């Protein structure tokens, strides 16, 4: 049987975790998480890491497997997951990957540009400058070193600005000159399944999940991570809003409402991204039998 990677994707809070367990049990397989924040072991509550009992039902990979003190990006994820898949496919023809991190999914499916390795001195120097002077001077430097990339980069995302500057300073060439965006060949088939539901229901699920995070101790977790607030891993919904609260820029009630609003905004961003991918077959949550039937049909066609 051809090797197949099933990718279960969708917006935050839609119900991917429960369905992924059911699918993995049916195919007697293992799960690769594709969540760029659940991968960090210091961030559990704010990233909605599944309960340990759930994780023990089916073997999971890339959940709380790395530290916020490590430099991690989509390129490393691509490399590490491909290595893991080589091992997992030795025992099973079908592997499941689930998550909602758009860039990580694209990196695994299509590959990303082969960029030169960055010297640690350059990386650490840029991080120190960011921590000391903020992002504005780095934006200005990028605008001079690579005006083409500066026009398209998300200027609110320090990670992307820092990464582009790393390449510029390391090579003496614009970061944009390395971005050829080739689609790499994979030695396995990819079946993409998207989950989505009515917007009001999705927003209600998100709001209730945020409330549960606070019950579970999100405020305490964020306070423990506050000393590392400048780390890129912590520049994410659920933590930065509480950091503002700790610094007196909002009340706790306001922070909670901002987390809900920003989580809903992120869900819209995910859906906008995914809707540009014609390979995704969309379902509403709860249609397990229909989804399994679709997977079986796709696998049968690949034989």
Q: What is the pLDDT of residues 242-296, one digit of tens each?
A: 999 999 999 999 999 999 999 999 999 999 999 999 999 999 998 999 999 999 9
Contact 167, 116 (CB under 8 A): yes
pLDDT at position 114 is 63
pLDDT at position 248 is 97
- Cα four-point dihedral sign 152, 154, 158, 159: negative
Examine domains 4-112+182-302 and 120-178 and report if their fold is the same.
no
Q: DSSP assignment of 154-199, as one string?
A: -TT-HHHHHHHHHHHHHHSS-GGGG---PPPP-SSEEEEEEE---H
Q: DSSP assignment of 16-27, as one string?
A: HHHHHHHHHHHT
pLDDT at position 180 is 67
Give the domain ranges of the chain.
4-112+182-302, 120-178
Query: Which residues on neighbouring strands pair with residue 5, listed in sequence order?
Result: 95, 190
68: number of Cβ within 10 Å: 17
Give the residue among 135, 180, 179, 181 at the shortest CA–CA distance from 161: 135
Rg (CA), the chain: 20
Is 95 in a helix, a strand, or coil? strand
Please give the Cα distance from 251 to 296 (Å, whole number).
51
pLDDT at position 28 is 95
What topology does CATH give the domain 120-178? Histone, subunit A (1.10.20)
What residues contact 129, with CB distance under 8 A and at least 6 apart?
Answer: 137, 138
Please give the Cα distance from 40 to 19 (Å, whole number).
23
Return the CATH architecture of domain 4-112+182-302: 3-Layer(aba) Sandwich (3.40)
pLDDT at position 123 is 85
Alpha helices in 12-157 (DSSP H): 16-26, 52-57, 74-88, 102-110, 120-133, 136-145, 147-152
Please give the Cα distance from 253 to 11 (Å, whole number).
25
**Ranges of residues in the chain whose predicted pLDDT is under 70:** 113-117, 180-182, 303
pTM for the whole structure: 0.82
pLDDT at position 118 is 75
pLDDT at position 290 is 95
Contact 264, 203 (CB under 8 A): yes
């Amino acid at each position: 049987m051809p090797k197949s990677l099933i990718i279960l994707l969708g917006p935050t809070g839609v119900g991917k975790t429960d369905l992924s367990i059911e699918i993995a049990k049916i195919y007697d397989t293992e799960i690769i998480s594709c969540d760029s924040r659940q991968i960090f072991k210091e961030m559990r509550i704010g990233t909605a890491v599944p309960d340990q009992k759930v994780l023990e039902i089916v073997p999971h990979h890339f959940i709380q497997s790395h530290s916020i003190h490590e430099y991690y990006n989509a390129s490393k994820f691509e490399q590490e997951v491909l290595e893991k898949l080589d091992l997992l496919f030795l025992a099973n023809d079908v592997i499941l990957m689930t998550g909602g991190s758009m860039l990580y999914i694209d990196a695994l499916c299509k590959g990303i540009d082969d960029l030169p390795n960055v010297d640690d001195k350059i990386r650490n120097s840029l991080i120190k400058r960011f921590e000391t002077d903020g992002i504005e001077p780095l934006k200005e430097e990028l605008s001079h070193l690579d005006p083409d990339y500066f026009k398209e980069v998300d200027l609110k995302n320090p990670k992307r600005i820092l990464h582009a500057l790393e390449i510029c300073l390391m090579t003496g060439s614009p970061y944009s000159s390395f971005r050829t965006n080739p689609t790499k060949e994979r030695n396995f088939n990819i079946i993409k399944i998207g989950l989505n539901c009515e917007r009001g229901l999705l927003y209600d699920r998100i709001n209730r999940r945020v409330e549960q995070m606070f019950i579970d101790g999100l405020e305490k977790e964020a306070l423990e991570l506050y000393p590392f607030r400048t780390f890129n891993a912590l520049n994410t919904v659920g933590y930065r809003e509480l950091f503002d609260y700790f610094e007196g820029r909002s009340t706790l009630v306001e922070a909670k409402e901002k987390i809900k609003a920003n989580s809903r905004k992120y869900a819209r961003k995910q859906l906008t991204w995914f809707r540009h991918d014609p390979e995704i077959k969309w379902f509403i949550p709860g249609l397990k039998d229909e989804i399994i039937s679709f997977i079986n049909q796709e696998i049968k066609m690949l034989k």
